[in-house]
Homo-oligomer: A and B are copies of this chain.
Amino acid sequence: MAKTPVRTRRSGSQLSREAIIEASLRIAARGSGDAFTVRRLGEELGADPTAVYRHFRDKDELLLSVADRVYGEVVESIPDGLGWKDRLRALAEVSLRVGLKYPAVASITASRTTRRANEFRLVELILGAINEAGLDGADAALHYRAVADALLAHVGQAAAYALFTPEARAGDESSWMREYRMVDAERFPHITRLSAELAEVRPAPVYTVQVEALIAAIEARAAAVAGGEDAVV
């Protein structure tokens, strides 16, 4: 009542799925500052929050659509002309970078399947790399899932971590400095000996270790298959 509408109503640019998705991405890109909520989305659009429900059945469908848009940003950032190893490495690097660009989306989508266009492009890309490595059939499907799940999980975890309040994040980080240095040296000799190194581990190398481990596993399996073995792990 007597609330001046932010946008002169029906002034040309109506709402659309595209506009809503882009507004969602703008909010998600702002990070943990303001959460990705329907009311916040309405504010960003200069419209009533519930107007979104005229274009998406519920927030879940909106989220999957936004996620697929993000997948598009990922797949289009992968350069052409790379060997299968470097293509997987590029995919891993780009996924993490884009995922951290929209943490609110990446953290929720990590354990979902969008079943939309750009997801297909990503699956095709990974399958192509694995096929080029020398795997096919059940082996290819199995190792595709290993790679995809690992990437999604790591990106989702990193995104969720980025969404924490600064206090909670500081608590987690400083724990390696504080609590882990004070443990009983008798019961926890390894922690005691390595407390300094544990505190200094950065996320990027950890990610690299995981990705390289999977690449090596694919290579090893391909060599085994070429050598005559055919028992799937």
Residues of A within 8 A of B (CB): 60, 110-113, 115, 120-121, 123-124, 127-128, 131, 136-138, 140-146, 149-150, 152-154, 156-157, 160-161, 168, 171-172, 175, 179-180, 183, 187-191, 194, 197-198, 200-201, 205-206, 208-210, 212-214, 216-217, 220, 232-233
Contact = CB atoms under 8 A, between A and B. Distances in A.
Contact of A149 (B127, B179, B210, B214): B210
Nearest to A138: B197
Given A124-B188, A144-B198, 17 more contacts: A110-B157, A112-B172, A120-B180, A120-B183, A120-B188, A121-B188, A123-B191, A124-B191, A138-B200, A140-B194, A141-B200, A146-B210, A209-B233, A213-B213, A213-B217, A216-B216, A216-B217
A232 to B, nearest CB: 7
A128 B183 CA distance: 16
Contact of A137 (B172, B197, B212): B197
B205 A124 contact: no
